[in-house]
Structure 1
Amino acid sequence: MSEEDYVSEDAFDAVVVGAGCAGSIAAYVLAKAGKSVLVVERGNFAGAKNMTGGRVYTHSLRKIFPDFEGNAPLERKITHERISLMSTDANFTVDFTGQDLGKEGQESYSVLHAQFNPWLAEQAENEGAEFVYGIRVDDLIVRNGRVCGIKAGEDEIEARVTILADGVNSLLAQKIGFAQEASLGQMAVGAKELIELPEKVIQDRFQCAAGEGAAWLFVGGPTQGHVGGGFLYTNKDSISIGLVATLSDLITSEMPVYEMLDEFKKHPAIAPVIEGGKTIEYSGHLISEGGYNMLPKMVGDGVLLAGDAAMLCMNLGYQVRGIDLAIASGEMAAESAIEALDKGDTSEAALSVYRTKMENSFVLKDLKQFQKFPHWMESTKRMFTDYPDMVRDIMYSMFVVDGTPVEPVRKKAMRPVKELGLWSLFKEVKGGVMSL
């Protein structure tokens, strides 16, 4: 059967479900190539349902919008990288800054999705893509195993290609058998607050130049010793602060996530940097944590998966990425759809060039490189309990002066290490290094 046997003549070339980063980029690339595109978003505006810490590594964005820095609603260029091991009463931080962090092609920015995503959607609309908001897609039109569009309430909208960019744990992907409901160990729940502070106050507290900011990741204290971590990103006149906790371990906690976030904000290392701030936004969201090993099927007859719907997220403890993966996947999904549409063949075989593009790009190569890390993190729970306390005790042994005769630093510093078990500590650290 030919393509015309599946869809009507007035079908869209492409329907995109979701106006997040992946969906809007896909719509932009398709519309720029002259294809008819409809984007359906269940939120009231693009980005209404998105929740991340809010950081974009711009290499993939620059490829599509070379002049983005002069047009996109960016917050601060990240020039300070901070990583902390946090116990309940102490905090050990590595603070790194360097010129290479801000070089073109290597730079990253904090962003607010409520501003950044509408800008992406606007670029697609300027090229002719149509967007409709406040509409939930309930199902897909499937004929003889081929996806031919979407069902939204009583409406059916046909398309030669359907791109699912509807977010993590996509129910639409599950309905067509591309994915199964993720296990608790593969998913995390995130909670975030946006705290308003004056621009100059943020620069002074984080020792940043005007227009520059910090990204700060935490292990241990934010999740009360459970698998996960905290994050803090500086925006122009606000701070994004939150935490992410893996569901399989979180279910053993007596403290809910929102209380963890409240305790995190009260920590002696955090309270001073948000003092006087006003909470202007609160959000929660599911986040994929399984990495490469939880990727769903991405290509079928008439359908492609991109962004969070394809579970494209990478959490390495010292680095969290998702937006650059979403942007690149949206671009490659659109390019693959264009090639297939131009050939008049949108079968799985024709669209499979998308998977090839992804495998040859940084997206799947990076996810594959670190595919063992999620399991190591979940199985090494002392990283979130004993390690922060061990580092605290080592620091106390070095810096506390109380009038008693001092011991050799080596002897004092090794005592907390020996209490955890030197050999088991070595094996765990080696496992983490090998997974990276």
Structure 2
Amino acid sequence: MGEEKFDAIIVGGGLAGSTAAYVLAQEGLEVLLIERGNYGGSKNMTGGRLYAHSLEEIIPNFAEEAPVERRVVKERISMMTEQDAVTMDYHSPYLAETGSDSYVVLRGEFDRWLFNKAEEAGAIAAAGIKVDKLIMENNRVTGVICGDEEMKADVVILADGVNSLLAEKAGLRKRVQPSQVAVGVKEIYELPAKVIEDRFGLTGNEGAAWLFAGSPSNGLVGGGFLYTNKESISIGLVLGLENIGESDKTIEEMLISFTNHPEIAPLIKDGKLIERSGHVVPEAGLSMVSTLYGDGFLICGDAAGFCLNIGYMVRGMDLAITSGELAAKAVLAAREKGDFSSASLKSYKELLDKSFIMHDLSVYQNFPAFMDNDRIFNQYPEMVSNIMKEMFVVDGKPAVPLRKKAMKHLKTIGLMNLVKDGLKGVKSV
């Protein structure tokens, strides 16, 4: 293998890397896909929710063969205090229509399937191999070094996750800052399918996605999530890394408080904890996107910073898949010209700019700054909970007009703060 030159070497067997390998192998290129874990997806715990549109364009009807868990037909968003929860629920068949549907997935299984699809298409899929560094010749990436072995290629695609140390060590991108990432922690509780369906009001392969703001993050930027799998529930937290040391609770304590919350505990009651994991995820949106291409290389997926968190929706998988596809298309265009220079591979950025990836990241580029507001995770959940209490608790005391009750709680935040936060929120979306 060391003497062979590949058309492309792809580092990272997650969604972005495996997609790029699949597309290139389908076109007959000699592709080497390298994954550090024992199999594709063995290190991945993200999510998970996959918006289907991106992979549907590459592998039509993929859900018929892929190991998806449930198709999401219920969206829930809750604002939580230590004891209360105010929830908005959206249940609609529109969520399940082909092209706008989404699936709950277990990344270890799903990524492994896509990794194997790339191998079936003709890529050499090598798992359990660590890439130590990139080969640089005259400021150009020409291959990779794994232990004592060197492997050359016309182009190298880096899809090695949010901490792309290979690109950083080679001076191809700046170091990721704590303000740009979050730490995600997740537990999986095993429960019978019938129990899950009864507790969440689901039938068949229907699934639910639920996001939480307020007490789960203990006042930090972040929140909780819950996804229904076939026979288990994925539940966890995503917390901004920059200020995590300022919390009076550890991540472990926050997760325990969340799973013990009166809204959550009944949902996982009698569930068997079968997995616990943690991971760093990109969080800063467009501002995190840096170097995407150069002489002999491209960067895609989490390594490029492609993730979109707008509070009520978190997207990363569809961005990763499409960025891998577009990286492959840029390589194919460069191969036709026989030119893998930065000037030729610039077509990758041009494809990205025409895609939903850069469009959506641009639309919501101000949202991370809007979310950096303590009131969103402390005062607003408390305010909403108190207003709900005034509306629904009947204790025999003389009635007070609801407007007066609500105003009392609005004033705890300050009317000017409400106006400023409202305007900033509207502008950010």
* Fold shared per TM-score above 0.5: yes
CA–CA distance in 1 between the matches of 2:119 and 2:336? 22
The answer to whether residue 155 in structure 2 is matched with residue 199 in structure 1 is: no
Q: Give deviations 1:260-297, integer Å, cap 9, x for gaps.
A: 11110000000000001011111101111111011021
Query: Mind listing any 5+ residue stretches in structure 1 that lack a counterpart?
Result: 1-7
Q: Please list every run of at least 4 consecutive aligned residues from structure 1 whose deviation after the TM superposition is greater than 4 angstroms.
A: none
- In the alignment, what sits opposite 2:118? 124
Contact 1:195 1:281 (C-alpha < 8 Å) held by counterparts: yes
| 1:155-234 equivalent positions in 2, closer than 5 A | 155-234=149-228
Contact 2:3 2:151 (C-alpha < 8 Å) held by counterparts: no
Contact 2:84 2:262 (C-alpha < 8 Å) held by counterparts: yes
- In the alignment, what sits opposite 2:364? 370
CA–CA distance in 2 between the matches of 1:409 and 1:91? 20
Contact 1:178 1:296 (C-alpha < 8 Å) held by counterparts: no
Partner SS for 2:242: helix
Contact 1:197 1:277 (C-alpha < 8 Å) held by counterparts: yes
- In the alignment, what sits opposite 2:100? 106
Contact 1:82 1:96 (C-alpha < 8 Å) held by counterparts: yes
Please point out which of 393, 400, 405 is paired with 1:400.
393
CA–CA distance in 1 between the matches of 2:45 and 2:113? 16
Aligned residues: 428
Following superposition, the deviation at residue 176 of structure 1 comes to: 2.8
Following superposition, the deviation at residue 330 of structure 1 comes to: 0.4
CA–CA distance in 1 between the matches of 2:347 and 2:171? 20
Please point out which of 243, 268, 275 is paired with 1:274.
268
Query: Mind listing any 5+ residue stretches in structure 2 that lack a counterpart?
Result: none
Letter in 1 for 2:415: L
Partner SS for 1:248: coil
CA–CA distance in 1 between the matches of 2:419 and 2:171? 42
How much is the aligned-residue C-alpha RMSD, in angstroms? 1.1
Letter in 1 for 2:205: G
Following superposition, the deviation at residue 24 of structure 1 comes to: 0.4
- In the alignment, what sits opposite 1:3? none
CA–CA distance in 2 between the matches of 1:430 and 1:230? 25
Letter in 2 for 1:109: Y
Contact 2:185 2:237 (C-alpha < 8 Å) held by counterparts: yes
Measured at CA, do residues 128 and 346 of structure 1 come closer, stay the same or move farther in structure 2, by a change above 3 Å? same
Contact 1:164 1:305 (C-alpha < 8 Å) held by counterparts: yes
| 1:80-159 equivalent positions in 2, closer than 5 A | 80-159=74-153
Contact 2:45 2:108 (C-alpha < 8 Å) held by counterparts: no
Q: Give deviations 1:352-376, integer Å, cap 9, x for gaps.
A: 1000000000011100110111111
Contact 1:47 1:117 (C-alpha < 8 Å) held by counterparts: yes
Letter in 1 for 2:160: D
Percent of aligned positions that are identical: 52
Following superposition, the deviation at residue 9 of structure 1 comes to: 8.2
Letter in 2 for 1:100: Y
TM-score, with length taken from structure 1: 0.97
Contact 1:169 1:311 (C-alpha < 8 Å) held by counterparts: no
